[in-house]
Structures are given as C-alpha cells and as structure tokens.
C-alpha cells in the first residue's frame, strides 16, 4: 500500500474518531439538555396545572402566589336578596369550572345553539388552567350601605373585625376606586386566564352586580411559600422577605385564619382582606442615591439582607449602631417600622402585585404596588401597622395611597353542594 493511500486511510480514521468524539459530546449535551428540558417541562406543567377549588379555606390566600392578578370590586345593584344568593351560587359553579380549566358554563363558548349567546366568552379556549384561583370577599357596604340601609337583612351579621378603615396620614384616596360590596381576586400564571375569569363572572352577574373598579397586576411582590424566591417591587428591592408562608401552620392559625370564638361563626376558617393601591413616585426614587434608598428601606438592594447583616433571611439587629453612634437601621426605616417587634407581634400574609397603568398625564408613569394582605383581625394587625407606617416611614415621601378596600373572605367551599356566602345568607 502506498504512503499516500496510508495517509488517506489514517486521515479518514482520525476524522471518524473525531466525529465519534463530537457525537459523544453531543450525546452528552443532548442528555443534559433533555434533563433540563424535562425539568423545565415539569415546572411549566406545574405552573399550568389546576389548583383545587374546594377545601377548608379559599384558594388564592396561601396558594403559592401566581404571576398575574385581575382584582375586581362589585356594587350590588339588585334589591332582591334571593337573586343575589342565586348569583353567588352561579358564580361558585362557574369558578369551580374555570379553575379546572373548563369553560365558565356547561354549554361553553362554541357548543351551543348558533342563534344563542354562548355561556363562555371564549378567550381562554385552548389555554390550560394556569393555576387560576378565585377568592371572594364581602365588603362593609353589603351589610349596610353608604346611606345606612340594610338592603339584604345582613346588618346584624357583620363581623366586628370588618371595620371601616380609618383615614391614615397622607391618604389621597379616590372613592371611585375604593370600597365595594363584593370583591373577587383572580390570580393565575397567564394574564388571559385571569382576565377571562373576571370577565365571565361580570357577564354572569349582569343586572345583579356592576363593576365598581378593577386592577390588573403583574410580578407578584411577595412569596407565600417557602419554595418561592422573594420577588422585587418597582423600587427594585426584595419585597415580603418576612411574609407568612403556607408552611407556617401555627403562625397561620395565630395570624391568618379566623378561629372559633372570634365571631361570627360564618367567618370561622376565613380571613380578612385589605387592599391598597399605592402609587410609587418612581421618577423621584430613581434620582435618590443607593445608600439613601437602602437607609429608607433598611435592607441592602442586592441581597435583601438587613443592613449590617449578610443574608436576606437574617434577623435585623435594631440595637446595632454604626461608627457614628447612630442606629445601623434607622428609626424611620420601613423594615424597623413594619417589623412584628414594633407592632406587638402582629403579622400579615401579603400577596400584592406590581402595576403600571400608563401615565399620569404629567409625563410620569402611573406605577406602583397593589397591596393585598390577609389577616385574622385588621383591628389588631393592618390598622396599627399602617398607622405607624403612615406617621413615621421615610418611604412615604415616595408613596401615594390612592385606593383602599376591606373585605371579609369566608372559608372555603366544601363541596359541590356548597357555594360562596351560603353560611352568611343561610
């Protein structure tokens, strides 16, 4: 065999070995990619799955916070108690279907007679449940309206904890986007699924209720499970580090769920919801130095650790002083004022969302936080905490509270024979 033929054969052999090596690397990379894809697929599957609708407590409270929100407050426009109760039953049936990934009605968006309106609006056709949860609450005006009328014979059943929130220092509330007889919180990992749910409840309620105000939200601002990382608000800081978590059984009984004897019985197992739309003056904040921002919050912006500490979940040391003799965490910092140690141990379960509602007409973003907090008794939790914050929090320079609401959220719907509000109206 000639040297040239040997050379060619050697080259072919080496090339083959090279191809085999590349193929081996590719196969390994492919296996890694498949493993990553399988994990991503599993994560996506969980995010697209269904959250059980029936249970001891309403879903959407301790449920791991989803990515998107559509919150709506309704005014009841009917004077007929029986029709209102009927609507709550219709809503419950629709909610159970939609949270399972089905159409709002039995016939659906495309299954009915062509000459008749569909009983689902259709924009969620083909979409998975996306962990949709629907949580209902009853406002103070359902029990006695602004004119003092007891429209539905419920005045004597209003919980003492369903207080009219006081005026807090700095409030600039707009009545047209505050309050409401009823509320529904829709959370999902797909905004179209959340909007579809609210749209269909509004459609079903036509003539019985009317939309008073609603709010879209994105980018949850709290984690409600130990499996979730702490998200950031529009100031760029981690928000809700010390939040109550679904896994905190004892703390949830103490701070979140209405207990037997708290009164009234129809609220046992439920919770009280406070909403606040908080406009953030982001343009002014963005011109503040990093050190000033961190002093106002009381945490480092990067890691989220309390000032003077190294980890996000380290307990703040409020006694620590700097070289200048001043507290490391300022007396007017948000972390110090909101901490349970400053509020007789009171804690909240927060599950708020960021919002951007266009511009304010003055060349600034209309952006901020739609604050949502659940608790066992607002008189002992939200009201004293917010009173202290409103008076002393250095962050107030950058905030405007423009909307407010409080609602009694009853316990969960137990089974197919139960419905929202059954114990209240029974």
Burial class of residue 384, CB neighbours in 10 A (0-12, 13-18, 19+): middle
Contact 228, 47 (CB under 8 A): no
DSSP 3-state helix, strand, coil percentages of the chain (rounded to 5)? 35, 20, 50
Q: Tell me: pLDDT of 163 over 80.
A: yes
Provide the pLDDT for residue 254. 98
What's the domain count of the chain?
1
Nearest CA to 370 out of 279, 240, 268 is that of: 279
Provide the pLDDT for residue 113. 94
Residue 13 covered by a domain: no
Provide the pLDDT for residue 40. 54
When pLDDT is averaged across residues 159-187 and rounded to a whole number, the result is 98
- Kindly indicate the confidence band of residue 397, based on its pLDDT and cuts at 50, 70 and 90: very high
Average pLDDT over all residues of the chain: 92
H helix intervals, 100-170: 140-143
pLDDT tens readout for residues 291-342: 999 999 999 999 999 999 999 999 999 999 999 999 999 999 999 999 999 9
Is this structure's pTM higher than 0.95?
A: no
Residue 18 covered by a domain: no
Contact 189, 130 (CB under 8 A): yes
Nearest CA to 412 out of 16, 61, 164 is that of: 61
Q: Tell me: pLDDT of 414 over 50.
A: yes
The residue ranking higher by pLDDT, 168 or 24, is 168
Q: Tell me: pLDDT of 244 over 70.
A: yes
∠ CA 21-25-31 to the nearest 5 degrees? 145
Output the six-digit token pair for 277.
């739309």
Provide the pLDDT for residue 41. 58
pLDDT-above-70 percentage for the chain: 90
Distance from chain centroid for Cα 383: 20
Provide the pLDDT for residue 43. 60
- Kindly indicate the confidence band of residue 262, based on its pLDDT and cuts at 50, 70 and 90: very high
* C-alpha dihedral sign at 224, 230, 234, 237: positive
Residue 204: left if φ>0, alpha if ψ -120 to 50, beta else—which one?
alpha
- At 32 the three-state DSSP class reads helix
Provide the pLDDT for residue 177. 98
- Kindly indicate the confidence band of residue 233, based on its pLDDT and cuts at 50, 70 and 90: very high
Please name the residues in contact with 275: beta carbons below 8 A apart, sequence gap of 6 or more: 71, 183, 370, 371, 372, 403, 404, 405, 406, 407
Provide the pLDDT for residue 77. 98
Question: Over the Cα atoms of the chain, what is R_g?
Answer: 27
Contact 250, 230 (CB under 8 A): no
Residue 32 covered by a domain: no
Phi, psi of 130 (to 5 degrees): 55, 35
Output the six-digit token pair for 336.
């110090």
Query: Which residues span the domain enclosing 321?
Result: 69-425
pLDDT-above-90 percentage for the chain: 88
Contact 417, 198 (CB under 8 A): no
How far is Cα 285 from Cα 365, in angstroms, rounded to an integer? 12
How far is Cα 245 from Cα 63, in angstroms, rounded to an integer? 9
Question: How many CA atoms does the CB half-sphere of 57 hold within 13 Å?
Answer: 18
How far is Cα 200 from Cα 72, in angstroms, rounded to an integer? 12
- Kindly indicate the confidence band of residue 46, based on its pLDDT and cuts at 50, 70 and 90: confident
Provide the pLDDT for residue 18. 41
pLDDT tens readout for residues 1-10: 443 333 333 3
pLDDT tens readout for residues 267-293: 999 999 999 999 999 999 999 999 999
Contact 151, 85 (CB under 8 A): no
Contact 165, 378 (CB under 8 A): yes
How far is Cα 179 from Cα 8, in angstroms, rounded to an integer? 85
How far is Cα 259 from Cα 265, in angstroms, rounded to an integer? 9
Residue 406 covered by a domain: yes
How far is Cα 182 from Cα 166, in angstroms, rounded to an integer? 20
Residue 275 covered by a domain: yes
Please name the residues in contact with 296: beta carbons below 8 A apart, sequence gap of 6 or more: 288, 330, 332, 333, 334, 394, 395, 398
pLDDT tens readout for residues 82-138: 999 999 999 999 999 999 999 999 999 999 999 999 999 999 999 999 999 999 999
Residue 54 covered by a domain: no
Output the six-digit token pair for 320.
């620590």
Helix (H) or strand (E) holding 255: helix 249-255
Burial class of residue 259, CB neighbours in 10 A (0-12, 13-18, 19+): middle
pLDDT tens readout for residues 190-228: 999 999 999 999 999 999 999 999 999 999 999 999 999
Residue 278's beta-bridge partner residues? 369, 401
Output the six-digit token pair for 407.
């609602």
Residue 10 covered by a domain: no
The residue ranking higher by pLDDT, 265 or 18, is 265
């Amino acid at each position: 065999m000639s040297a040239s033929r040997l050379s060619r054969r050697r080259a072919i052999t080496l090339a083959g070995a090279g191809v085999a090596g590349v193929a081996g690397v590719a196969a390994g990379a492919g296996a890694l990619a498949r493993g990553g894809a399988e994990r991503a697929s599993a994560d996506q599957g969980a995010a697209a799955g269904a959250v059980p609708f029936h249970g001891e407590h309403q879903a959407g409270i301790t449920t791991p916070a989803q990515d998107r929100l559509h919150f709506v407050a309704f005014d009841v426009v009917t004077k007929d108690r029986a029709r209102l109760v009927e609507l709550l039953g219709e809503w419950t049936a629709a909610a159970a279907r939609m949270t399972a990934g089905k159409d709002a009605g039995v016939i659906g968006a495309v299954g009915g007679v062509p000459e008749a309106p569909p009983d689902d609006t259709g924009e969620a056709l083909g979409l998975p449940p996306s962990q949709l949860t629907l949580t209902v609450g009853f406002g103070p005006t359902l029990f006695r309206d602004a004119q003092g009328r007891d429209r539905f014979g419920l005045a004597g059943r209003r919980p003492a904890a369903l207080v009219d929130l006081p005026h807090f220092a700095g409030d600039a509330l707009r009545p047209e986007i505050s309050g409401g007889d009823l509320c529904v919180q829709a959370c999902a990992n797909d905004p179209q699924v959340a909007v579809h749910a609210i749209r269909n409840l509004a459609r079903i309620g036509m003539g019985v209720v009317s939309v008073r105000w609603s709010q879209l939200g994105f980018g949850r601002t709290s984690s409600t499970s130990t499996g979730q990382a702490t998200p950031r608000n529009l100031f760029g800081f981690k928000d809700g580090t010390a939040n109550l978590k679904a896994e905190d059984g004892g703390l949830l009984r103490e701070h979140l769920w209405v207990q037997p004897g708290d009164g009234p019985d129809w609220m046992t197992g439920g919770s009280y919801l406070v909403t606040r739309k908080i406009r953030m003056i982001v343009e002014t904040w963005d011109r503040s130095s990093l050190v000033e921002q961190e002093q106002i919050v009381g945490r480092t912006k990067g890691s989220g650790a309390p000032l003077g500490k190294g980890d996000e979940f380290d307990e703040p040391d409020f006694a620590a002083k700097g070289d200048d003799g001043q507290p490391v965490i300022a007396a007017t910092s948000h972390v110090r004022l909101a901490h349970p140690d400053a509020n007789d141990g009171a804690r909240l379960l927060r599950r708020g969302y960021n919002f951007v509602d266009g511009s304010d007409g003055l060349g600034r973003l209309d952006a901020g936080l739609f604050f949502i907090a659940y608790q066992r008794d607002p008189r002992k939790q939200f009201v004293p905490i917010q009173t202290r914050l409103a008076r002393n929090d250095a962050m107030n320079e950058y905030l405007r509270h423009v909307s407010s609401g409080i609602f009694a959220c009853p316990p969960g719907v137990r089974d197919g024979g139960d419905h929202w509000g059954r114990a209240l109206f029974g």
